[in-house]
């Protein structure tokens, strides 16, 4: 059995999109270790095909050469192949310093000499799952792959018991979006939706989003929301998502997590496009006014892919009403 090191992306949503690649590699007999940043590592602990997760103590930005060389020395001689998923030069540096014989990745950032097997970046970038899965060298079925995450039942049960929750007894709201406010459905809409539901909404997010979630909980009223933003580990957040009645989110990493667990979900899109990064889940309902012929005047500005609305109105999000989200939930559930 060959042994492979996967250099993971730095964002949760991108990490989820790599799961089909790892499943392909595992199915052909490769033993997989994933090198990931601490906030991404839990994604790979929810992939049964991963044998080992190595947490990299790197930060955003900077080459951090000494730290990469130190880890490279520790893993030298352990791996036959490295798959470098990000396109940056620094991400390809560690496998090179570790003298891993076969180093696979896309061309980018003048790293030709760091990779032994190089793929050209396509002019028209395919969906992210197919983009990552192509690194396997396979040619067939890349578009059909869908990410899958799994947790041990005991892990889910423990997380629910610690919070006094029961599977299916709550909804999950993920109101944050790391990229910026042009991807965030208004807090007042989340609050109104919470008031309309027959079960409490568990609010999930990072510590940065605790204030936003507190705003939603306050506007929703007593007993409608449980604000856990910044109060759970990422693995516990995964367990809460996996056992939820449904998940309502923006286009974010937790949206992709919900899709990979196959949970019923409603995904709200504004400045970004579900044509590029949809939730890959048969139980997902996507709301995007750009794609709604009945919405007038048309959103000629969308998708703009900006962090903040250049026009200052964010109609693409504000005009997706709580009633529209509730109707999307009711398509599959008796509320």
pLDDT at residue 108 in the model: 84
**Is it true that domain 156-330 has CATH number 3.40.50.2000?**
yes
> Which residues share a beta bridge with 189?
none
The tens digit of pLDDT for each residue in 46-71 reads 999 999 999 999 877 778 899 999 99
Residue (of 83, 55, 10, 16) closest to 257 by Cα position? 16
Q: What is the full DSSP assignment across 188-253?
A: HHHHHHHHHSSSPEEE---GGGHHHHHHHHHHH-TTSEEE-TTTS-HHHHHHHHHT-S-EEEESSH
- Give domain 3-144's CATH number out of 3.40.50.1000, 1.10.150.120, 3.40.50.2000, 3.30.360.10: 3.40.50.2000
Q: Taking the CA atoms of 186, 188, 191 and 195 in sequence, report the sign of the dihedral they define.
A: negative
Question: Are 232 and 254 in contact, with CB atoms under 8 Å apart?
Answer: no
Question: Are 202 and 170 in contact, with CB atoms under 8 Å apart?
Answer: yes
Task: Record the tokens describing residue 201, joined without a space.
Answer: 């909404």
pLDDT at residue 210 in the model: 94
Query: How is the chain split into domains, by residue range?
Result: 3-144, 156-330
Q: What is the full DSSP assignment across 126-173?
A: --HHHHHHGGG---SSGGG--------HHHHHHHHHHHT--TTSSEEE
Residue (of 80, 119, 76) closest to 94 by Cα position? 76
First to last CA, the chain: 50
pLDDT at residue 179 in the model: 76
Render each residue's pLDDT in the chain as its tens digit; 335 residues.
899 999 999 999 999 999 999 999 999 999 999 999 999 999 999 999 999 999 999 877 778 899 999 999 999 999 999 999 999 999 999 999 999 999 999 998 889 999 999 999 888 878 899 999 999 998 887 777 899 999 999 999 999 999 999 999 999 999 988 777 888 999 999 999 999 999 999 999 999 999 999 999 999 999 999 999 999 999 999 999 999 999 999 999 999 999 999 999 999 999 999 988 899 999 999 999 998 989 999 989 999 989 888 888 899 999 999 999 999 998 866 44
pLDDT at residue 311 in the model: 86
Q: Which residues contact 210 (CB under 8 A, 6 or more apart)?
A: 227, 229, 230, 231
Question: Are 168 and 263 in contact, with CB atoms under 8 Å apart?
Answer: no
The answer to whether the 3-144 and 156-330 domains have the same CATH topology is: yes
pLDDT at residue 332 in the model: 62
From residue 19, how far is each of 26, 47, 69, 148, 293 by CA, in Å? Answer: 10, 7, 27, 7, 35
pLDDT at residue 312 in the model: 84
Task: Record the tokens describing residue 57, joined without a space.
Answer: 């103590």
pLDDT at residue 334 in the model: 47
pLDDT at residue 335 in the model: 44
- pTM greater than the 0.85 cutoff: yes
- Region for residue 77 given its phi and psi (left: phi exceeds 0; alpha: psi -120 to 50; beta: otherwise): left
Tell me the C-alpha distance between 183 and 199, whole Å: 26
Tell me the C-alpha distance between 259 and 281, whole Å: 5
Q: For residues 203-218, b (16+ Cβ closer than 10 Å) or e, as one string?
A: bbbbeebbebbebbbe
Tell me the C-alpha distance between 184 and 196, whole Å: 20
How many separate helices (H) and strands (E) can be counted in the chain? 13, 12
Q: What is the full DSSP assignment across 181-197?
A: GGG---HHHHHHHHHHS
pLDDT at residue 195 in the model: 98
**Phi, psi at 86, each rounded to 5°:** -70, 160
């Amino acid at each position: 059995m060959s042994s492979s090191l996967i250099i993971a992306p730095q964002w949760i949503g991108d990490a989820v999109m790599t799961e089909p690649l790892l499943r392909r590699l595992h199915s052909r007999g490769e033993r997989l270790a994933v090198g990931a940043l601490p906030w991404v590592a839990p994604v790979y602990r929810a992939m049964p095909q991963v044998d080992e997760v190595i947490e990299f103590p790197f930060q955003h930005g900077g080459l951090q050469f000494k730290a990469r060389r130190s880890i490279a020395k520790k893993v030298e001689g352990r791996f036959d192949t490295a798959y470098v998923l990000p396109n940056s030069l620094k991400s390809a540096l560690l496998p090179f310093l570790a003298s891993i014989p076969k180093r696979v990745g896309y061309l980018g950032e003048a790293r030709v000499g760091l990779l032994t097997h190089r793929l050209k970046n396509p002019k028209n970038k395919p969906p992210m799952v197919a983009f990552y899965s192509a690194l396997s060298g396979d040619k067939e079925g890349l578009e059909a792959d869908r990410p899958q995450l799994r947790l041990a039942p005991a892990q889910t049960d423990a997380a629910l018991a610690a919070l006094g929750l029961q599977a299916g007894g709550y909804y999950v709201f993920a109101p944050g979006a790391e990229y910026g406010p042009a991807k965030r459905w208004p807090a007042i809409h989340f609050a109104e939706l919470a008031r309309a539901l027959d079960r409490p909404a568990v609010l999930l997010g990072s510590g940065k989003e605790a204030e936003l979630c507190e705003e939603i909980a306050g506007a929703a009223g007593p007993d409608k929301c449980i604000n856990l933003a910044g109060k759970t580990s990422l693995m516990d957040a995964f367990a809460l998502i996996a056992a939820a009645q449904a998940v309502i989110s923006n286009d974010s990493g937790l949206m992709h997590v919900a899709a990979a667990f196959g949970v019923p979900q409603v995904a709200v899109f504004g400045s970004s496009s579900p044509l590029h990064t949809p939730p890959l889940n048969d139980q997902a309902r996507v709301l995007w006014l750009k794609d709604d012929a009945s919405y007038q005047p048309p959103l000629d500005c969308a998708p703009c892919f900006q962090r903040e609305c250049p026009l200052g109105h964010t109609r693409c999000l504000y005009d997706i009403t709580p009633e529209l989200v509730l109707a999307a939930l009711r398509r599959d559930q008796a509320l």
